[in-house]
Amino acid sequence: MVTSIELLNNVRKNLAELISGEVLWDKEILDYYSVDSSSYQIKPKVVVFPKNQNDILKIIKFSRENKIPIVPRGASTGLVGGALGSGIILDLKNLNHIKVGKNFVSVGPGITKGKLDLILKKEESFFAPNPSIGPYCSVGGMIANNSSGSKSLKYGSVIDNLLEVTIITGNGEVITLPSNKKFGKAITNFAHAIDRKKYPNVTKNSCGYRLDAIKNLNDSHKIIAGSEGTLGIIVSAKLKTKKIPQQKCLLIIEYDDIVKSTKECVNILRTKPVSLEFVDEHTLKNISHRFHPSTKCLLFVEYDTNLKKNISKLKKIILGRIVCELYAELDIERWWRFRDLALSYNLKFIPKNMRIPHMIEDAAVPVEDLDKLISIINGINRRFDTKSIIYGHAGNGNLHIRLISKRKDKKLLKKIAKIFFIKVIKMGGTITAEHGDGLPRSEFVKLQYGNKNYKIFRELKKLFDPDNVLNPGKIITEESQIVRNLIQF
Ligand SMILES: Cc1cc2nc3c(=O)[nH]c(=O)nc-3n(C[C@H](O)[C@H](O)[C@H](O)COP(=O)(O)OP(=O)(O)OC[C@H]3O[C@@H](n4cnc5c(N)ncnc54)[C@H](O)[C@@H]3O)c2cc1C
């Protein structure tokens, strides 16, 4: 009798014979690929490293014939288990071509942000979306999550900086958007059918499918930004680049009250900063600077145009105290490192048994309601006896919240998430501004957008991936995965 493990090994061997890239299934490899930067763990059957587009076409055909789903994977820095799955993991690191053009760059999905930055720097240009993880993420993962960072206030998220994308659909079709008319027309029709009032009133959003960003055929490629590997495997992309600004100034402002600082954000936005970021007292403890003893939080405000005019405007309106006004590149970089390391500092500070998995860590609300978001967090802390650490992209109304508690009741975690998401949606916010839906939030996408839009999302998914082989369970799902496969439990 043939055992199930023998059957599985046959499947793996068949796949290995089929493609020119590597196919691995040693225990250590499967263990390594069973985790990413999230709190989840799912063991795959096999890990594949396609060498080229042709390999991917063969893998997709194989996946459909053998009913084994595919999860594309970049650098695995995602925080929501987007790159985890029980079938085939498709590591795209070999697709790493790069060609710099005037005001754009053509890349493969496997190129890291760090490599891209280095190459563009030689041309005195840059790709604007800058996740705090810095050089380590891949362009494919950034597109799939619609990533953003501290500069997105001025320059936008990936969706605003994507010019063209080539994907392989779940049907094995290679399509380039926006030039593909068949898919372009279908996407545009979906975009015209959605209820736009159900989309959040925020400047950054990585929840569900971004049909709201599509006005006409020329925008159809934007549907891939934030699609989390569920509509197609990204095999190349053309990205907008900008010239590195000639001058910069970063101001660090300290406040003795969080609400006071968040209320001030709307006024600061009028001075046109490129960045407006927030860290609370937990992060500032790690910064080698002597702050006023009453300081409870900081705002990082950066300008890259009209420095004199904007800074003098800022100084007239703020209630906080300016502790640094930095112009030298090295000083600016040093302070941004403090902000970018907020998650690492906080993980160091929270003992392992007190960490609550990332679930509500990435909401955004209209900036004028940031103080209300803080009240919601305080309310959760009071009701559930939790503590929180907060930092993030205040200028986009996007705060990262880390909850701290000893209690590890799964039902309670889900309850906290649901209460939080309902309140955020009611305020016109998004349940995820940058990290995506992944395992914790996909079941709440319907709550965010309503039945009518969710039905359209389903049709859209069917168009691209009729057999549901591409990252199943993400964005479109009937199952609850928020507390399933958590590592700590
Ligand atoms: C410390 C830390 C700080 C972070 N800060 C930020 C931040 O400031 N802003 C931000 O936006 N994010 C941030 N993140 C989250 C994460 O870094 C980004 O989402 C990043 O862009 C993910 O890229 P990746 O290559 O690691 O993707 P992965 O984690 O490998 O994958 C992410 C998703 O993309 C899909 N995917 C990957 N490649 C492809 C492809 N070729 N085709 C189709 N789908 C694909 C995967 O299936 C998965 O759904 C942070 C993470 C960490 C750990």
d(CA 90, CA 15): 12
- Classify 188 as helix, strand or coil: helix
- CB-facing half-sphere around the CA of 331: CA atoms within 13 A: 12
pLDDT of 407 over the 80 cut: no
d(CA 369, CA 367): 5
How sure is the predictor about 322, in pLDDT bands with cuts at 50, 70 and 90? Answer: very high
Mean pLDDT is lowest, of 8-12, 197-201, 249-253, 294-298, for: 8-12
pLDDT at position 1: 67
pLDDT at position 234: 98
Task: Quote the percentage of the chain above a pLDDT of 90.
Answer: 90
Q: Please give the distance, rounded to the nearest whole angstrom, from the Cα atom of residue 259 to the centre of ligand 1.
A: 31
pLDDT at position 247: 96
CATH number of the domain located at residue range(s) 4-91 in this protein: 3.30.43.10
Which ligand 1 atom is the nearest neighbour of the CA of 340?
A: 3
Residue with tokens 């800074």: 311
* 98 CB-near residues (< 8 Å, 6+ apart): 105, 106, 107, 108, 111, 115, 116, 119
Nearest CA to ligand 1 atom 17: 77
Our measurement of the distance from residue 227's CA atom to the centroid of its chain's CA atoms, rounded to an integer in Å, reads 11
Which ligand 1 atom is the nearest neighbour of the CA of 142?
A: 21
pLDDT at position 51: 98
pLDDT of 237 over the 70 cut: yes
pLDDT at position 328: 97
Which two tokens mark 234?
């990204």
Q: Which of 52, 136, 147 for mutating ligand 1's site (highest number of atoms within 8 Å of CB)? A: 147
Assess whether the C-beta atom of 434 lies below 6 angstroms from ligand 1: yes
Assess whether the C-beta atom of 80 lies below 6 angstroms from ligand 1: no
pLDDT of 202 over the 90 cut: yes
Q: What is the mean pLDDT of the chain?
A: 96
How sure is the predictor about 352, in pLDDT bands with cuts at 50, 70 and 90? Answer: confident
Assess whether the C-beta atom of 221 lies below 6 angstroms from ligand 1: no
Residue with tokens 């309850």: 415
Is the Cβ–Cβ distance between 477 and 444 less than 8 Å?
Answer: no
pLDDT of 439 over the 90 cut: yes
The domain ranges of the chain are 4-91, 98-243
Q: What is the pLDDT of residues 204-224, one digit of tens each?
A: 999 999 999 999 999 999 999
Is the Cβ–Cβ distance between 285 and 354 less than 8 Å?
Answer: no
pLDDT at position 351: 83
pLDDT at position 99: 98
Amino acid residing at 77:
T
CB-based burial, 33-54: b 16+ in 10 Å, e otherwise = bbbbbbbbebebbbbbbbeebe
Higher pLDDT, 284 or 190: 190
Q: What is the pLDDT of residues 98-151, one digit of tens each?
A: 999 999 999 999 999 999 999 999 999 999 999 999 899 999 999 999 999 999
How sure is the predictor about 65, in pLDDT bands with cuts at 50, 70 and 90? Answer: very high
Q: Please give the distance, rounded to the nearest whole angstrom, from the Cα atom of residue 99 to the centre of ligand 1.
A: 22
pLDDT of 2 over the 80 cut: no
* 43 CB-near residues (< 8 Å, 6+ apart): 30, 31, 34, 86
pLDDT of 358 over the 90 cut: no
Task: Quote the percentage of the chain above a pLDDT of 70.
Answer: 99
Assess whether the C-beta atom of 69 lies below 6 angstroms from ligand 1: no
Nearest CA to ligand 1 atom 36: 141
pLDDT at position 353: 83
213-218 contacts, C-beta under 8 A, 24 or more apart: 213/159, 214/187, 214/188, 215/191, 216/188, 217/178, 217/181, 217/184, 217/185, 217/188, 218/178
Alpha helices in 385-480 (DSSP H): 410-426, 438-441, 445-464
pLDDT at position 258: 95
Q: What is the mean pLDDT of residues 66-71?
A: 96
Cis peptide before 178 (omega within 30 of 0): yes
Assess whether the C-beta atom of 392 lies below 6 angstroms from ligand 1: no
Nearest CA to ligand 1 atom 39: 140
pLDDT of 489 over the 70 cut: no
Which two tokens mark 489?
């439990």
Q: What is the mean pLDDT of residues 428-440?
A: 98
- CB-facing half-sphere around the CA of 298: CA atoms within 13 A: 28
CB-based burial, 434-462: b 16+ in 10 Å, e otherwise = bbbbbbbbbbbbbebbeeebbebbeebbe
Q: Where are the beta strands (DSSP E) in 222-293?
A: 232-240, 242-243, 249-255, 275-280
- Does CATH place domain 98-243 in 3.40.50.300? no
Q: What is the pLDDT of residues 333-349, one digit of tens each?
A: 999 999 998 888 877 77
Q: What is the pLDDT of residues 30-64, one digit of tens each?
A: 999 999 999 999 999 999 999 999 999 999 999 99
d(CA 10, CA 17): 11
Alpha helices in 123-164 (DSSP H): 139-145, 152-155
Q: Which among 398, 381, 401, 374 is positioned nearest to 389, based on CA atoms? A: 401
